[in-house]
Structure 1
Amino acid sequence: MSRNSGMLWGEKVYLRPLNGEDAELYYHMFYDAETRRLTGTQKHITKEQIAAYIGRKAEDDSAVLLLIALRDNDETIGDIAIQDMDRNNRTANLRIAIGDETHQGKGYGREALLLMLDYGFGILNLHRIELEVYAYNKRAAHVYESVGFVREGVRRQTLFYNHEYHDVVMMSMLENEYRERYLSSKVK
């Protein structure tokens, strides 16, 4: 897919919609053992199931699923989604994954988060965006806090992964918190 199909643009990354041609890429990108651990993915999924998932997401008006690609070479490195949108209460859930470890810790995820938050609070007119992160994923929790997500609580021993129970940390950001942090500096 070319950069012409990009939907949201940052300095290092752009976000673009998935299409049926992305099933193979998506399958391989998220089959890595470490990516599965960080996302808590336990189920093994076939390429056909991935293709069906992409098709369902394309028809789902309560979700926006985008791939994260590098601007300099168009390499797809992850995905990000605003999902489970509740239009009446203006709330949604956010999730993100960067597939390959070589792309982690370089600011790509942070930039993709900020692009999606701008889209969620601006274009989608959301009031609250929430997410969950496993307690062992300290790097992701740090990034979420650094962009302004607030810890709300812990769901104890929610995930049973690799023969151990793990806590899930719940976080959120409100529209006014986002606007105060990011839009007030643009106006000045």
Structure 2
Amino acid sequence: MDHIYNFETDRLLFLPLSWKDLEMIREWRNQNHIRINFIDQNIIETEQQNKWFGNYLKNENDIMFVAFEKKQHIPIGSAGLYRINRIYKTAEFGRLMIGSKQFSGNGYGTEIVKGICNFAGEELGLTTIYLQVLDGNENAKHIYQKIGFKVTGINVESGLDLIQMELSFKVP
């Protein structure tokens, strides 16, 4: 896929994930307070991350963004759309991270989710975004519900309770 998309929100610039971002993303992902909110809670090694990224670049159905604070151009977080289905106009939202604790609690998580969901609807023409969030991840659940995601079910994977959520866009 051409991982060339970029867009802006009020405070953030969203750029596609690139090779130069990989080590930073890996370090964010390996922080304990972030890692415990993923289904796979293992430490990610550099070789594993590089292999994942090589496969990602070949994938026509995934787009991952790094969100930069616009004024100082500081990378603060990331998230993406996965399993994009252009026929059914759906995608999975995931891998939301605020990389530095100094940016947590300032509404950036909400702005990232809302920005990517708006991009999905406006630029990709998607009508439904779905996700799974660990039952105990109250911060993420709050953000998703604030944006308009609705709980659609519960799934158990790897012994973890996952809340399934969905956001549907109005079709003009």
Give me the TM-score of the superposition, normalised by structure 1.
Answer: 0.81
Partner of 1:18: 17
Separation in structure 2 between the aligned mates of residue 68 and residue 54 of structure 1, nearest angstrom:
18
Partner of 2:167: 173
Give me the TM-score of the superposition, normalised by structure 2.
Answer: 0.88
2:30 match: secondary structure: coil
Gaps of 5+ in 1: 161-165, 181-188
What is the CA distance between 1:6 and its match in structure 2?
8.3
Please tell me whether the aligned partners of residues 66 and 81 of structure 1 are also in contact (alpha carbons under 8 angstroms).
Answer: yes
Separation in structure 1 between the aligned mates of residue 71 and residue 99 of structure 2, nearest angstrom:
18
Partner of 1:154: 154
What is the CA distance between 1:51 and its match in structure 2?
2.2
Q: Which has the larger radius of gyration?
A: 1
Deviations for 1:71-122, whole angstroms, at most 9, x for unmatched residues?
1222212211110112221111001222233322211111111111111111
Please tell me whether the aligned partners of residues 57 and 63 of structure 1 are also in contact (alpha carbons under 8 angstroms).
Answer: yes
Deviations for 1:135-175, whole angstroms, at most 9, x for unmatched residues?
111111011011111111112x4344xxxxx3111100112
Identity of aligned residues (%): 21
RMSD: 2.0
1:140 match: secondary structure: helix
Separation in structure 1 between the aligned mates of residue 13 and residue 110 of structure 2, nearest angstrom:
12
Gaps of 5+ in 2: none
The one-letter amino acid paired with 1:27 is R
Separation in structure 2 between the aligned mates of residue 121 and residue 39 of structure 1, nearest angstrom:
25
Separation in structure 2 between the aligned mates of residue 150 and residue 138 of structure 1, nearest angstrom:
14
Separation in structure 2 between the aligned mates of residue 76 and residue 41 of structure 1, nearest angstrom:
24
Partner of 1:113: 113
Separation in structure 1 between the aligned mates of residue 143 and residue 29 of structure 2, nearest angstrom:
20
Task: Report which of the two has the higher share of helix.
Answer: 1
1:38 match: secondary structure: coil
Partner of 2:76: 77
Please tell me whether the aligned partners of residues 153 and 165 of structure 2 are also in contact (alpha carbons under 8 angstroms).
Answer: yes
Partner of 1:144: 144
Separation in structure 2 between the aligned mates of residue 30 and residue 74 of structure 1, nearest angstrom:
20
Separation in structure 2 between the aligned mates of residue 29 and residue 75 of structure 1, nearest angstrom:
14
